[in-house]
Amino acid sequence: MSTPLSRIRNFSIVAHIDHGKSTLADRLIQLTGTVAERDMKAQLLDAMDIERERGITIKANTVRIDYPAKDGNTYVLNLIDTPGHVDFAYEVSRSMRAVEGSLLVVDASQGVEAQTLANVYTAIDADHEIIPVLNKVDLPAAEPERVAEQIEDVIGIDASDACLISAKTGIGIPDVLEAIVKRLPPPHGGDPDAPLKAMLVDSWYDPYLGVVVLIRIMDGTLKKGDNIRMMRTGGKYGVDKLGVFRPAMQDVKELGPGEIGFFTGSIKQVRDTKVGDTITHDKKPCAEPLPGFKPSIPVVFCGLFPVDSSEFEDLRDAIEKLALNDASFSYEMETSAALGFGFRCGFLGLLHLEVIRDRIEREYDIELITTAPSVVYHVFMRDGERIDLHNPADMPDPSKVDHIEEPRIKATILVPDEFLGDVLKLCQDRRGLQQDLTYVGGRAMAVYDLPLNEVVFDFYDRLKSVTKGYASFDYEITDYREDNLVKMQILVNDEPVDALSMMVHRDRAEMRGRAMCAKLKDLIPRQMFKIPIQAAIGGKVIARETLSALRKDVTAKCYGGDATRKKKLLEKQKAGKKKMRQFGKVEIPQEAFISALKMDE
């Protein structure tokens, strides 16, 4: 018999990075005795090595808790711990659709940050009941009254009865559990006898079980052995194993309305399970599918190439396995004259890129080269055709191009007063247009319209360094807009290096080109002949550096005598160098690529 609806509470924990979501989840699990004390460890729900090492949550994780409340009833709490980083906002948005309420965790010493806002708005869009929770009240710098006021000013949620807790020491955790039971609504509607209607929240690949599918049941009942159908993809499967997470998998006989659980059914590929799909009984389907949600759209693209080209097949296997676990990661094959065979991969942001790269290097032991990250441009040709340009090296002939559009974003930056000038200058330098500037509790909130291309490179690092780490930043893609963009190529010894070509704004091309040439001059080892390093747009060279040759002192044996003897030897050497340069090949070392792509101002 499944739990009655009135005793189920489904909620997620949302917050900015490092405000204590995963630690609060640990305390809730510990206090309700869901996991035995001996099995408890910090950040219990962060299962991946890279999550534990970086101290961040990447995948949203779920756990079912039984809580005997003060009113004598036992409630079933389904908790989803979500990531805080902007790159994983997709994980947050889809977790929100599976639950009815959110705990909004705000650090009582830091206050509201940009990601707090973004995640709260996601929760409000999903029509959630929100309970504010002020964490870290045991810190000497904590100011719960000021932060509660800030929550009311900035977000507009009543924070007068916010829970004051310290997730680390366990202060106030029982109040949170009571608040969840009293203040969060039970699941709406839900008829156990109606045809099955369940939402596919997430899916991942398990080497022993095949694809594991996380679902939230809206109507009807799912039993072990049922035959189900995915309404979008049309796939039909039998349910082999049905269960819930108490972090460990626990089998159950059936799942009823309002419950969150998982099933496996000999599904071979995660591609067959589209997130947001509706699952129903094969013989007795529901009338219409759930609205589902927009697929994630990669915004940053870069090439991944193996350092050792013989490892290409291993890299293909690694990327295919990662794509099984990560619906928001896309890839296609590409080749490069400088780097050989590799893949062009799409990511949701730079942190996502770093995480995937680290996982390939660590879990599959493959050394990688990553090319400069770039975004997708819309290239409009004179004949009216539109091309999506993922890699600057594939830019069509400029004489046939009518205009190019680039993606723009709306960036929200929260920053303490004293750093505001630096932040405004940084945004101005990146071709930003200011849209709004407001003051909230001693901090400025600047809203800018920025080109995504300028943000992808190193905007976040620069922002953190000019504000000593106090600024917080969140963005969403708004639209595509035409601008004066050109493709800049780097030529080494008159040979174009396709891995270093990039799209830049014409006004800033010269500055970028100079910086790149100067950087490469220090990075490329000297040869026996002189090497020109040039940045060019089309046929026009806009910047140049010359790497001087290594030279043997051919006149060492001449002392005294006529000057023409020395001249003759030098001329002979010069002719030899000229011939060398004609046939010489310049090998650009691996480190030079990677360092050249990290552009500093």
Q: Is 221 annotated as a binding residue?
A: no
Q: Is 23 annotated as a binding residue?
A: yes
Phi and psi for 246 in degrees, rounded to 5?
-125, 75
Query: If you count DSSP H runs as helices and E runs as strands, how many of each does the chain have, helices first?
Result: 13, 31
Q: Is 21 annotated as a binding residue?
A: yes
Asked whether the beta carbons of 196 and 248 are under 8 A apart, the reply is no
Sign of CA dihedral 337, 340, 343, 348: negative
Q: How far apart are the first and last CA of the chain?
A: 64
Q: Read off the DSSP letter of residue 587.
A: P
- Residue 104: in which H helix or E strand, if any? strand 101-107
CB atoms within 10 A of CB 246: 14
CA 292, CA 311: separation in Å to the nearest integer?
A: 39
**Burial class of residue 386, CB neighbours in 10 A (0-12, 13-18, 19+):** exposed
The β-bridge partners of 39 are: none
CA 469, CA 456: separation in Å to the nearest integer?
A: 18
The structure tokens listed for 230 are 């995915």
Beta strands 129-135; 163-164: pairing state: parallel
Q: Is 135 annotated as a binding residue?
A: yes
Asked whether the beta carbons of 181 and 75 are under 8 A apart, the reply is yes
Q: Is 18 annotated as a binding residue?
A: yes
CA separation (Å) from 582 to 31, 349, 350, 363, 489? Answer: 75, 42, 40, 44, 21
Q: Is 22 annotated as a binding residue?
A: yes
Q: Is 421 annotated as a binding residue?
A: no
What's the one-letter identity of residue 97? R
Q: Is 519 annotated as a binding residue?
A: no
Asked whether the beta carbons of 159 and 105 are under 8 A apart, the reply is no
Asked whether the beta carbons of 367 and 306 are under 8 A apart, the reply is yes
Q: Is 19 annotated as a binding residue?
A: yes
Q: Which residues of 123-142 are buried (b: 16+ CB within 10 A; e: fewer)?
A: beebebebbbbbbbbbeeeb
**Burial class of residue 229, CB neighbours in 10 A (0-12, 13-18, 19+):** middle
What's the one-letter identity of residue 350? L
Longest Cα separation, the chain: 111
Q: Which residues contact 145 (CB under 8 A, 6 or more apart)?
A: none
**String of DSSP letters for 340-365:** EEEEEEEESSHHHHHHHHHHHHHHS-
Which residues are known binding-site members for GTP? 18-23, 135-138
Give the annotated binding-site residues: 18-23, 135-138
